[in-house]
A and B are shown apart, each in its own frame.
Chain A
């Protein structure tokens, strides 16, 4: 997509092989693809690279904003971007909408785990019609999170850091339809009749960009569909 938009020299960090690592310096602009890269960002800045502020590329909206931000930096017109992303964007919207049928109107509660919580809450609230009860993150990097926080609808408790007993109290009180949490909490909460989503799976699964936006939604929908299916 970057190439089609007109940004030619685009490299991935980290590269698949260490000998393909990109050179980084004052002429480099960088876009973060994951929110837990605060240290990396710091190191890049130290080498003179410039961060392009954008929401993270989760969901159709996040991906669109991410690409637009990059184009803006290089003086490419938004019309050009829109033209390039028209087809994949429409595909993502349609595919996410289908999965969102399971999610719309359901409530979700995030325990702090991977720092992906805020962008994901933004995706679930704005593209899947979910109600976010609480969004807990282990650490909130104000600068990196600002674009996503700005998009997150009013309402949910935003909590930083961990106090698991208090968070559990709030979660049990709210009885959300879906709780996103770490591996240690998932089964105990399931045993209490709460449906959960392993946060770690969101890190391991390819969920970025347009073509994988529905896969991302599917990760949240699957536990809910399983409950509907099972008769034991």
Chain B
């Protein structure tokens, strides 16, 4: 575990909390020191939940460590059972409590409570939040789900949504509606909205829909093996993927099922003439593997963007990102250090970032617009309105989400043409984003230099291998609108380096422009 100002994922017990908080009638007894209760605010503040997470913390203090923390845990467990009367409990330790090795599972067993108690082994120092959520859900399913008779009608479970997930609330609704339009009923949605009793009847469904593999893939695999239920593998984000998702269900059920594309607007919106300006926009994508890979497809096939960077923070699913990155001809970026991500974004100079809350901050600092497409997200990305990213309406939402941070088509030209005008100057940014625009950070005016670069300057440039800009060329560069200037600068420098020109003059700038013409 690495301590950092910002992290993409919390420790694994936060993943367990996401499961417990999403579910009904389940309680989590967490052996944790005072202070670990901070995790409540992730749910009550960021997701605006109006109830505390169903978690009892043992909240031992330093002075308890010399005495009997095991008894403390047992008492907390017993009291939690009596107070909350849950249908089942999960018990475990947070990162700090793991070190005192009290064995919460064994202790809870010894209490002999009349409800199922599922022990969680979450190695805090090797694993993270998504893994913790996945492991918790898997353990619950393994302990509670039973093989049983299938429902008479064709039904499925929807697996993966949790508390604090990116658009999980609306994705579940959208996909439920989609399945309904295909004549398929939903048996259980889990873990979010499910009670332990619902987990027990997962086996009644004919198949499983895995919406969030990061959370549900392990459990779904166990269910395939032990309950004989096939699972979907296509994530229905975007038009193409949703169509494939429907085809996959058809194949899996071995019967023809269709869904009307009622209310789907993305294809026409993307083909309408205003969208021409989106063509070839260079985007950098970073998030959890599932969302990042899905968005790369939407960005290229459905928006007409060009992917210039692709990565994820969860190593468990890095393979998917590597495969996708290869397809788009970019280097995969697998890291949980946001500083690496910032460096990669700075190096590629994309016209837009599709990322998490962290990339939104990075974009702000670098003056690059960003749309949020993956957890972790901040409070503003839990919208009040219906905003799925899956299914037909999800595709519509994505179209809007991806164009909103950009400068509009004709506005691009106005910004170029009237760049010396007060309304369209460099710092102005997209007009519709007002004063909070991801405005380009001001580039310093080039120093007025009266003479040609001194030989020693050229020598210095040669030494570090980087071409230097002559003042006239700098001035010419500044005529290029801010949202593509970074790319022009980078291309020109690359071109100059390739041609062995150590000074970039106006001719070099034009030569590079001609060189990179499509």
Residues of A within 8 A of B (CB): 16, 87-88, 91-92, 94-96, 98-99, 102, 183, 186-187, 190-191, 196-198, 200-201, 204-206, 211, 214, 218, 221-223, 225-226, 229-232
CA distance A198 to B279 in the complex (A): 15
Name B's A-contacting residues (CB within 8 A): 239-240, 266-268, 270-273, 275-276, 278-280, 300-302, 304, 409-410, 413-414, 416-417, 420, 507, 510-511, 513-515, 517-518
A residues in contact with B276, CB < 8 Å: 197-198, 222-223, 226
Given contacts A204-B410, A222-B279, 9 further A-B pairs with CB under 8 A are A87-B507, A91-B511, A95-B517, A190-B271, A214-B514, A218-B517, A218-B518, A230-B304, A231-B240
Partner among B304, B416, B517 whose Cβ is within 8 Å of the Cβ of A206: B416
Give the one of A191, A201, A221 with max B CB within 10 A. A201
A179 to B: closest C-beta gap in Å: 10
B514 and A231 contacting across the interface, CB-CB below 8 Å: no
Give CA–CA (A95, B300) in the complex, Å. 25
Q: Which of A200, A206, A230 contacts B302 (CB 8 A)?
A: A230
What is the bound-complex CA distance between A79 and B302, given in angstroms? 51
**What B residues does A211 contact at CB under 8 A?**
510, 513-514
- The answer to whether B511 touches A200 (Cβ under 8 A) is no
* Contact (Cβ within 8 A) A98 B301: no
Asked whether B514 lies within 8 Å of A91 as measured between CB atoms, the reply is: yes
Residues of B within 8 A of A230 (CB): 270-271, 301-302, 304
Which residue of the partner chain, among A16, A91, A99, contacts B518 with CB atoms under 8 Å? A99
> Nearest chain B CB to A77's CB is how many angstroms away?
24
Q: B402 to nearest A CB, angstroms? A: 13
- Chain A hits for B275, CB < 8 A: 226
23 A-B residue pairs with Cβ-Cβ distance under 8 Å, sorted by A, are A92-B514, A94-B514, A99-B517, A102-B518, A187-B272, A190-B273, A196-B273, A206-B417, A211-B510, A218-B518, A222-B280, A223-B273, A223-B276, A225-B518, A226-B271, A229-B300, A229-B304, A230-B270, A230-B302, A230-B304, A231-B302, A232-B266, A232-B271
Contacts of B273 in A (CB 8 A): 183, 186-187, 190, 196, 198, 223
Which residues in A have their C-beta under 8 angstroms from that of B517?
94-96, 98-99, 214, 218
User: How far is the CB of A175 from the nearest CB of chain B, in Å?
Assistant: 17
Q: Which residues of A contact B272 (CB under 8 A)?
A: 187, 190
Cβ of A226: which chain B residues have Cβ within 8 Å of it? 271, 275-276, 278-279, 304
A92 to B517: give the CA distance in the assembly, Å: 10
B270: which A residues are within 8 A, CB to CB? 230, 232
With beta carbons under 8 angstroms apart, the residue of B278, B420, B510 that contacts A91 is B510
A87–B510 Cα distance when bound, in Å, is 10
Chain B's closest residue to A181 (CB) is B273
Nearest Cβ on chain B to A158's Cβ, whole angstroms: 25
The closest CB in chain A to the CB of B277 belongs to A222
Complexed CA–CA distance, A190 and B268 (Å): 9
C-alpha spacing A102/B280, complex, angstroms: 14
- In the assembled complex, the Cα of A230 lies from the Cα of B239 at a distance in Å of 11
Q: Which residues of B contact A222 (CB under 8 A)?
A: 276, 279-280
In this complex, which of A186, A197, A232 has the most chain B Cβ atoms within 10 angstroms of its Cβ?
Answer: A232
Closest beta carbon of chain A to B508's beta carbon, Å: 11
Residues of B within 8 A of A225 (CB): 279-280, 518
A231 to B271 CA separation, bound complex (whole angstroms):
10
Chain B residues whose C-beta falls within 8 Å of the C-beta of A91 in the assembled complex:
510-511, 514
Determine the chain A residues whose CB is within 8 A of the CB of B414 once the complex forms.
Answer: 204
A91 to B270, CA, bound (A): 33
Give CA–CA (A222, B275) in the complex, Å: 11
Bound form: Cα–Cα A188–B511 in Å: 39
| B518 x A204 contact (CB < 8 A) | no
> What residues on B are CB-neighbors of A88 within 8 Å?
510
Give CA–CA (A222, B409) in the complex, Å. 13
10 pairs of A and B residues whose beta carbons are closest in the complex: A95-B517, A95-B514, A231-B301, A204-B413, A186-B273, A214-B517, A91-B514, A232-B267, A226-B279, A232-B239
